[in-house]
Amino acid sequence: MEKKTTSNEFVRGTLKTIVLNLLSEHSRMYGYEITQEVKDRTQGAIALTFGALYPVLHKLEQEGLLLTESVEVDGRTRKYYSLTSPGTEMAQAKTDDLERFVEALKLLLAPKVATSK
């Protein structure tokens, strides 16, 4: 049976948090590395496209949450991203918020147990 990927709608709403969280665990990462880490950890359930990822990375950089560093690797320039201090704080806050939301969603979606009177 083919594994289904998560709806892009849900990914779009959490992409900033996903990126911040991954960068809080690694000193620095580049775009392709981020997409592969997400794919590996979710066993393919979440597949990030570069078209979705790079605008988020640029926005986080503009907001002062990320630093970029260009490094030449095998004759090509690779752009690494790392968190600033405010980025580290935002990563924790957004992760906490998302965890609370997921818990609330689980309660909301859980089958309602019939109560007898």
Give dist(CA 15, CA 58) in Å, integer: 13
Amino acid 56: pLDDT: 95
Amino acid 1: pLDDT: 45
List beta partners, residue 77. Answer: 72
Amino acid 80: pLDDT: 97
pTM to 2 decimal places: 0.81
Amino acid 13: pLDDT: 80
Amino acid 62: pLDDT: 97
Task: Residue count of the chain, please give it.
Answer: 117
Amino acid 33: pLDDT: 96
On whether the CB atoms of residues 82 and 27 are closer than 8 A, the answer is yes
From first to last of the 117 residues of the chain, give the pLDDT tens digit. Answer: 455 666 677 777 889 999 999 999 999 999 999 999 999 999 998 889 899 999 999 999 999 999 999 999 899 999 999 999 999 999 999 999 999 999 998 998 887 776 655
Amino acid 97: pLDDT: 93
List C-alpha distances in Å: 77 to 17, 27, 73, 93, 104: 26, 19, 6, 32, 43
Could you say which of 1.10.10.10, 3.10.129.10, 3.50.50.60, 3.90.800.10 is the CATH number of the domain covering 8-102?
1.10.10.10
